[in-house]
Amino acid sequence: MFCVAHPAERFICSQPWYPSLPATLQEAVRSGVYQTEGAKGEVMLPVGSQVEGWHAVLQGLVTLRSPACKARTSAFIGIPDGEWFGEGSALKAEARKYEVVALRPTSLLCLPLPLFHTLRDTSLAFNQFLVQHMNLRLGQAMAIIEAGRIRSPEHRVALYLSRLFWRSTRRLNLTQEELGQLAGLSRQTVNRVLQALEAAGIVTLDFGRVAIVDDEALNAHLAATALA
């Protein structure tokens, strides 16, 4: 089901590139974006599907997953609410290379391709934001590749709790099941690692949610487990 909702308009108006746009383009963007809703476990954007635009998570949590990962429940990357994704797909005239799966009930926002390309062609602020965003995604991808080589559960869990993936909050609205799906680990393994992190004073656990209480200690833990 597709609809334009007030949260989508508020989200667009809060973007750092939006205020510098001409009034006509601001209106075109506000009226052109649309939402899609997905239930937990639903494939919201299938692999091989036509790319319709640039997407953001308005509410919820999704994972970007390659088809080869289905049997192993491991993910390429997780996208929390407030974050854009799929800029690489929007820049290329080809079918989607990965699927987007909702890890909880999720609302996605889509900025259609014609508007995406208009913004790229006309807005310096939009291009600056896009370059910074793509640099962030590259850093995340490299960290995930390295963590996969190390294969240390302690490092992988700590990585997915770090500011590299959660920039806006240190109290993560993230269950152990969701963290396991993102890190490619069982819930039991995630629980064991989180219990150790809590005992070390790095995190606190409350009703399945995780709060980071010592970022410096988390960074030190990441460094130590990278060498293990």
pLDDT tens digits, residue range 171-187?
677 788 888 888 888 88
How far apart, in whole angstroms, are the C-alpha atoms of residue 215 and residue 170? 9
Task: Judge whether 189 and 126 are in contact, CB under 8 Å.
Answer: no
Model confidence at 227, pLDDT cuts 50, 70, 90, reads low
The CATH classification of domain 2-144, taken from the options 3.40.50.1700, 2.60.120.10, 3.40.50.620, 3.40.50.10470: 2.60.120.10
User: Within 10 A of 159 (CB to CB), how many other CB atoms are there?
Assistant: 24
pTM as predicted: 0.75
- Each domain of the chain, given as residue ranges in start order, spans 2-144, 151-226
Fold: same for 2-144 and 151-226 = no
How far apart, in whole angstroms, are the C-alpha atoms of residue 179 and residue 156? 10
pLDDT tens digits, residue range 1-22?
344 447 889 999 999 999 999 9
